[in-house]
Amino acid sequence: MTDTASQARNADKAKSISGYLASHLRDYGLLFALIAIMVFFQIVTDGTLLRPVNITNLFLQNSYIIIMALGMLIVIVGGNIDLSVGSVMGFVGALAAVMIVNWNVPVALTIPACLVVGILIGAAQGYWVAYWKIPSFIVTLAGMLVFRGLSLWLLEGQSVGPFPKSFQLLSTGFIPDVFGVGRPNVTALAVGIVAAGAIVWMGLRKRARNKAYGIEDEPTAFFLIRNAIVAGALLFVMYKLSTFRGLPNVLVTMGILTIIYAFLTEQTTIGRRIYALGGNEKAAKLSGIPTERLTFLTFVNMGMLAALAGLIFAARLNTATPKAGFAVELDVIAAVFIGGASMSGGVGKIVGAVVGAFIMGVMNNGMSIMGIGIDYQQVIKGLVLLAAVIFDVYNKQKQG
Amino acid sequence: MQTLLEMRNITKTFPGVKALDAVNLKVAEGEIHALVGENGAGKSTLMKVLSGVYPKGTYDGEIHYDGQLAGFSGISDSEKLGIIIIHQELALVPLLSIAENLFVGNECATAGVVNWHETFRRTEDLLKKVGLKEAPAAQVDSLGVGKQQLVEIAKALSKDVRLLILDEPTAALSESDSQALLDLLLELKAQGVTSIVISHKLNEVRRIADTITVIRDGATVSTLDARKEPITEDRIVRDMVGRDMSQRYPERPRRAGDMLLEVRNWNAWHPDHAARQVIENIDFHVRAGEVVGIAGLMGAGRTELAMSLFGKSYGRNISGQVELRGKAIDTSTVASAIRSGLAYVTEDRKELGLILEESIQRNVTLANLADVSKSGVINEAEETKVAERYRAAMNIRTPSVFQKVMNLSGGNQQKVVLSKWLFAGPEVLILDEPTRGIDVGAKFEIYGIINELSAQGKGVLMISSEMPELLGMCDRIYVMNQGSFVGELSTDEASQERIMSLIVTE
């Protein structure tokens, strides 16, 4: 009697664990995909991938993609798309170069001016999408051509550079070691420990609150493993960075922006409303949500982040070229979809987009180290994008 | 006279609902046969069975056509035998010409190459037959609804029609267009075309029909021969609504408190056709604790009235005054309408009411995030508490408030929508078809919630196509037809017959 009861209970427990896994497969899948890809390239590149210098490079190479993926995720969650970000990024980089190198405008003035230009570009495109209901695909396709052309015109077809040191710091600078040790860089280590601690602490706090409200929570084993992996990976990366030159400035910018946007999308009313807008625009409108204004703001924000990405990209290359940002929008959009966002809007997470961007970045980097030609690289990246989306759709059909 | 069509014992069931229950219909060759009944009585379902939209095998019963046992597996099957159905929503391609529309899918072509000369010549013939003086090359969306209806009939004629079925052909037409259409039907009859006309307008039915079949609750009630003796509208109305009041409604002490909502001189025009007035000079009021109904047929303009009131969500050039407790309020945007104390529970909860991909919790708080947040940051613990409160109060059956709304049944989804609007704290709730598509048990619960709102002194304006529901729930009923209110009845004087006769006698 008690035997069958306990058997039933065990069966229930097993069912709830497998049910939990099924409904969160996407989240775990993404994390494990990133780990599997890193392990794979670590092996086939004979350990080059995770050398301190290469990890630093990974961040520098992908920072502008990740920064734009933050904005793109919000645009896509809102039910739109922005194809112009690569061109806008190139245009703002060109503008910065012309201002600093040709017109001798101070760096401290150029950076805010360029961000304002990005905001205005976003506003100009968002206006047509939000208030005139012109499909974002068309508006931003036009924007893509317009700003590609304008950067060519601005640079007169030439590369402009180099930049003064103070501008380059935006991208290639490192946070100095406040503890004065230098190598290993104690600041990087300290930041790593604090961040890992914060992640675990916040996870525990959320778990405790969920328990208090009787919310279905992640099984304890999953929680422990997931946090161990995330915190461990963070500490590992920080340790590696500390043995090279420490924390790159862009990593700090990227980290802070990721935290801000994750908070904005998950904890604030404006974030909630963007999800509602993308999920069902008519219902959102009839619930008193100013859908037009929100759509407009998602593009303004995207414009600003594309401008920031443009500055960082130009600073890294130390020159602005007419080809800068070419086809980058595709990498950004791919990162967001690999990260689990839905084309129809209303679904997607900031963390997912960032992990998606890292998956793309590690693949680019790993394949380059292996010496795989750009031709095969494109084919493989395309197939990975398709596989990720098929995985999503398959999962959804199985559940529904 | 020879029988062209006989449908015997047609029974059609959808999951959980018997839409048609042993319906019989007999249509003689060369007559105009009217099919009448309330919304949802099963008229359209019957015609879909006939035309093959519901293919052979998905229903029980027999169809005899032209003396032979028939059964169609698709519209093209029935069209081959000359059975053509013209639906209420016209099936024309607006950006193509009349000629292209007439022959779409049936082009005058050899080996895929269209013979335009032949197409235009035949179009001119057909247009002459239906009395439409338009160029064959005229684009369809440049025509009015009345002329588009004629194009539909011309299209039917191009397919050698023997039995023409029209679903509410005059519903969207003006008086003179309607007359022209009815004349055309009589002329086609003289040429030997048999017609089945579904209509709510009994004066029109009396004018053209030779035989009238009344359907109620999925069953044939009567077949009346109008050639033998004239049939009064009263007689038809009695057959249409004569059901027992079998549904039960929870008791509620009737009370009407102070004046709450007052709307005067409300007007609105169609958003796309600037010349078409959709709402005409409507005045009404709702007192505290009152449940007020709006009765009317589909297309009467009830939803349009509600949406134009609620933040100008429908229509253009909206004008009129809205007062709450004697003070003018701002309803120019949805947000200001909510702030002013209005709430609107939409007719179509999946399309307009819910974010299906999101949780119950997030849907409940959507219209009033301010109350669960502080300077723009949401307090999720507080939000869960709110959602749990409504789950208990509304008896939403779900394992947790984090469940996605799309996984809930219709009745529970409706409770989520109601929760959302109650949490917004309105004084007056407009409920648009609040019990559409939900089962009897859940309906009863929704009625209970409405009564509870009334007890709290809120005003409820209830739009419903189910007349027994309005009679069972409301203190007063406004009757709406073609964009204006054509009558107001208290519960004591209201009956289905009176409401129907207010609607059908224009």
Domains of chain A by residue range? 47-171+301-374+382-400
Is 70 exceeded by the pLDDT of residue A303?
yes
Q: Which of chain B's residues have a Cβ under 8 Å away from the Cβ of A270?
A: 376
Judge: B353–A289 Cβ closer than 8 Å, yes or no: no
Q: Using only the alpha carbons of chain A, give its radius of gyration.
A: 22
* Average pLDDT for chain A: 89
Q: Closest Cα of chain B to A400: distance in Å?
A: 9
- Digit-coded pLDDT (tens) for A66-105: 999 999 999 999 999 999 999 999 999 999 999 999 999 9
* pLDDT, position A23: 66
* pLDDT, position A6: 52
Residues B92, B323: Cα–Cα separation, whole Å: 43
Residues A320, A314: Cα–Cα separation, whole Å: 5
**Residues contacting B230, CB < 8 A, separation 6+:** B206
- Digit-coded pLDDT (tens) for A147-186: 999 999 999 989 998 999 999 988 888 888 877 777 788 8
Is 50 exceeded by the pLDDT of residue B102?
yes
Note whether B12 and B58 are within 8 A (CB). yes
Residues B198, B187: Cα–Cα separation, whole Å: 18
In which order are the strands placed within the sheet that holds B3-14? B17-28, B3-14, B60-65, B68-70
Whether B14 contacts chain A with CB within 8 A: no
Chain centroid offset of residue A212 CA: 33
Give the start-end residues of each E strand in B78-218: 83-86, 109-110, 113-114, 163-167, 194-198, 211-216
Is 80 exceeded by the pLDDT of residue B329?
yes
Read off the tokens for A399: 């559940």
Top pLDDT among B285 and B94 is at B285
Decide: residue B394, CB within 10 A, 0-12 exposed, 13-18 middle, 19+ buried.
buried
High-pLDDT (> 90) share of chain A, %: 66
Phi and psi for B305 in degrees, rounded to 5?
-60, -50
**Residues contacting B255, CB < 8 A, separation 6+:** B289, B290, B454
Give the start-end residues of each E strand in B203-276: 211-216, 219-225, 259-269
Decide: residue A27, CB within 10 A, 0-12 exposed, 13-18 middle, 19+ buried.
middle
Judge: B355–A268 Cβ closer than 8 Å, yes or no: no
Judge: A213–B381 Cβ closer than 8 Å, yes or no: yes
Q: Closest Cα of chain A to B29: distance in Å?
A: 48
3-class DSSP state of A151? helix
Sign of CA dihedral B191, B195, B200, B202: positive
User: pLDDT band at residue A245, thresholds of 50, 70 and 90?
Assistant: confident
Where do we find the tokens 């990227």? A254
Is 90 exceeded by the pLDDT of residue A124?
yes
Note whether A203 and A231 are within 8 A (CB). no
Judge: A279–B353 Cβ closer than 8 Å, yes or no: no
Phi and psi for B43 in degrees, rounded to 5?
-65, -50
Read off the tokens for B410: 């219709």
- Digit-coded pLDDT (tens) for B404-436: 898 887 888 999 999 999 999 999 999 999 987
* pLDDT, position B40: 67
Whether B341 contacts chain A with CB within 8 A: no
Sign of CA dihedral A116, A117, A122, A125: positive
Instruction: Find the distance separating the first CA and the last CA of chain B, reported in whole Å.
Output: 34
Q: Which of chain B's residues have a Cβ under 8 Å away from the Cβ of A346?
A: 355, 357-358
Is 70 exceeded by the pLDDT of residue B445?
yes
Closest CB from B351, B377, B384 relative to A267: B377
Q: Which of chain A's residues have a Cβ under 8 Å away from the Cβ of B314?
A: none
Q: Closest Cα of chain B to A113: distance in Å?
A: 28
* Average pLDDT for chain B: 88
- Digit-coded pLDDT (tens) for A5-56: 455 455 555 556 666 776 677 777 888 888 899 999 999 999 999 999 999 9
Top pLDDT among B365 and A246 is at B365
User: Could you tell me which of B405, B506, B500 has the C-alpha nearest to residue B37?
Assistant: B500
Closest CB from A214, A268, A286 relative to B344: A286
Residues A226, B278: Cα–Cα separation, whole Å: 59
* pLDDT, position B57: 85
User: pLDDT band at residue A299, thresholds of 50, 70 and 90?
Assistant: very high
Position B299: which residue type?
Answer: G
Note whether B12 and B48 are within 8 A (CB). no
Torsion of CA B165, B170, B175, B177, to 10 degrees: -60
Q: Across-strand partners of A62?
A: none
Read off the tokens for B313: 């969500």
DSSP A375: H
Q: Closest Cα of chain B to A340: distance in Å?
A: 14
Is 60 exceeded by the pLDDT of residue A216?
yes
Q: Across-strand partners of B25?
A: B7
Three-class SS string for B38-76? CCCCCHHHHHHHHHCCCCCCCCEEEEEECCEEECCCCHH
Residues B479, B239: Cα–Cα separation, whole Å: 20
* pLDDT, position B17: 63
Judge: A287–B367 Cβ closer than 8 Å, yes or no: yes
User: What crossing angle do the helices spanning B410-423 and B380-394 adopt, rounded to 10°?
Assistant: 120
Note whether B334 and A286 are within 8 A (CB). yes
| Among A281, A285, A286, the residue to mutate for chain B (most B Cβ within 10 A) | A286
Determine the average pLDDT of the residues in A347-369: 93
Phi and psi for B342 in degrees, rounded to 5?
-105, 155
User: Could you tell me which of A326, A324, A300, A327 has the C-alpha nearest to residue A310?
Assistant: A324
The helix (run of H) or strand (run of E) holding residue B284 is strand B277-287
Q: Which structural domains are found in chain B, ordered by start?
A: 3-241 (3.40.50.300), 246-341+426-506 (3.40.50.300), 356-424 (no CATH)
Decide: residue B265, CB within 10 A, 0-12 exposed, 13-18 middle, 19+ buried.
exposed
* pLDDT, position A26: 73
Determine the average pLDDT of the residues in A191-199: 91
Give the start-end residues of each E strand in B325-416: 327-328, 342-345, 373-374, 377-378
Label residues B188-200 b or e (16+ Cβ within 10 Å = b). bbeeebbbbbbbb
Q: Across-strand partners of B261?
A: B286, B324
* pLDDT, position B244: 46
Per DSSP, helices labelled H in chain A are: 2-23, 25-44, 52-77, 85-97, 107-132, 136-155, 165-172, 186-212, 220-242, 249-267, 269-279, 281-286, 291-317, 328-338, 350-370, 374-399
Residues B150, B177: Cα–Cα separation, whole Å: 10
* pLDDT, position B245: 42
Read off the tokens for A186: 């104690």
CB atoms within 10 A of CB A357: 29
Instruction: Indicate the pTM of the whole model.
Output: 0.79
The helix (run of H) or strand (run of E) holding residue B282 is strand B277-287
* pLDDT, position A400: 47
Q: Which of chain B's residues have a Cβ under 8 Å away from the Cβ of A269?
A: 369-370, 373, 376-378
Residues B452, B467: Cα–Cα separation, whole Å: 21
Chain centroid offset of residue A284 CA: 26
Read off the tokens for A199: 């992640």
User: pLDDT band at residue A208, thresholds of 50, 70 and 90?
Assistant: confident
Q: Using only the alpha carbons of chain B, give its radius of gyration.
A: 25
* pLDDT, position A261: 97
CB atoms within 10 A of CB A202: 10
Is 90 exceeded by the pLDDT of residue B217?
no
Is 70 exceeded by the pLDDT of residue B32?
yes
Phi and psi for B484 in degrees, rounded to 5?
-135, 165
Top pLDDT among B273 and B166 is at B166
- Digit-coded pLDDT (tens) for B39-83: 667 888 899 899 888 888 889 999 999 888 888 888 888 888 899
* pLDDT, position B409: 78
Query: What size, in residues, is chain A?
Result: 400
Where do we find the tokens 């267009």? B177
**Residues contacting B201, CB < 8 A, separation 6+:** B170, B178, B504, B506
Judge: B366–A272 Cβ closer than 8 Å, yes or no: yes
Note whether B217 and B42 are within 8 A (CB). yes
